[in-house]
């Protein structure tokens, strides 16, 4: 008697990773459940069992991307020094994106097209909670000033996001020290800008 196939968390993770690579590299139209299942040594039945179908798989991919990113941000220790915390959050943002470029593309690269992720949008907002908390602390302590917490949070995120996106898209051939130095200089510029208002 054949052993039943196990549709477990490990297989779910592998399918999400493979789907992220396919979508990030070739677009959402490239995602074939049959090809995905074959590449991961399973069946389309496993995908339907774990996700419910192609649309649900794509929504799960969006959710998994922001959940992973948010977890990485929440793991950054809160030191009580808001500038240290903001630098560490920025570094964690970069490190996660460099380790997970396909998930980063799912989150921010527009590769999901018209997939409806409205019910999962709260995950994107929650992923920014550690940054928002660090900026709130910095503003409350007078370290950063001149605008609202939301505006400073947005500008800090925009700089970090832009630097990381540029690095992933155009600077991959540069050496790590050069790329890190550019990133740290950009992060420092936004901190210094809001501290001098």
- Residue 42 lies inside a defined structural domain of this protein: no
Percent of the chain with pLDDT over 70: 94
Q: Own/partner pairs for 117-120, CB < 8 Å, 24+ apart?
A: 117/59, 117/62, 117/63, 119/59, 120/59, 120/62, 120/63, 120/66
Number of domains into which the chain is organized: 1
- Residue 5 lies inside a defined structural domain of this protein: no
Question: Average pLDDT for residues 55-74, to the nearest whole number?
Answer: 94
- Residue 44 lies inside a defined structural domain of this protein: no
What confidence tens digit (pLDDT) does each residue in 102-160 have? 999 988 877 777 778 888 889 888 999 999 999 999 999 999 999 999 999 999 999 99
- Residue 28 lies inside a defined structural domain of this protein: no
pTM: 0.88
Distance CA 77, CA 74 (A): 8
Residue with tokens 């020290």: 177
Residue with tokens 């970090």: 160
Tokens for 7, please give them.
């549709």
**Structural element, H or E, at residue 24:** helix 9-26
pLDDT of 1 > 50? The answer is no
For position 3, what pLDDT does the model report?
Answer: 41
- Residue 111 lies inside a defined structural domain of this protein: yes
Q: How confident is the model at residue 7 (pLDDT cuts 50, 70, 90)?
A: low
- Residue 16 lies inside a defined structural domain of this protein: no
User: Closest Cα partner for 82 from 129, 125, 131, 126?
Assistant: 131
Q: Which domain holds residue 134?
A: 58-195
Cα dihedral sign, 117-122-125-128: negative
Percent of the chain with pLDDT over 90: 63
**Structural element, H or E, at residue 156:** helix 149-170
Q: How confident is the model at residue 175 (pLDDT cuts 50, 70, 90)?
A: confident
CATH code for the domain of 184? 1.10.357.10
Q: How far is CA 89 from CA 11, 93, 158, 180, 193, in A?
A: 31, 6, 13, 14, 18
What confidence tens digit (pLDDT) does each residue in 74-105 have? 999 999 899 999 999 999 999 999 999 999 99
- Residue 39 lies inside a defined structural domain of this protein: no
């Amino acid at each position: 008697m054949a052993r039943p196939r196990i549709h477990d968390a490990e297989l779910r993770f592998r399918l999400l990773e493979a789907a992220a690579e396919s979508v990030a590299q070739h677009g959402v139209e490239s995602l074939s459940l049959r090809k995905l299942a074959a590449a991961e040594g399973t069946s389309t039945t496993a995908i339907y069992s774990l996700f419910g179908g192609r649309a649900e798989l794509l929504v799960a991919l969006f959710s998994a991307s922001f959940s992973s990113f948010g977890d990485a941000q929440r793991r950054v220790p809160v030191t009580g020094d808001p500038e240290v915390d903001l630098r560490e959050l920025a570094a964690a943002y970069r490190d996660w994106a460099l380790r997970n470029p396909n998930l980063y593309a799912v989150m921010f690269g527009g590769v999901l097209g018209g997939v409806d992720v409205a019910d999962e949008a709260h995950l994107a907002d929650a992923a920014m909670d550690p940054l928002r908390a660090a900026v709130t602390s910095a503003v409350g302590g007078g370290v950063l000033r001149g605008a609202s917490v939301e505006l400073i949070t947005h500008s800090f995120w925009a700089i970090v996001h832009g630097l990381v996106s540029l690095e992933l898209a155009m600077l991959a051939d540069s050496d790590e020290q050069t790329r890190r130095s550019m990133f740290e200089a950009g992060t420092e510029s936004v901190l210094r800008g809001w501290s001098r208002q």
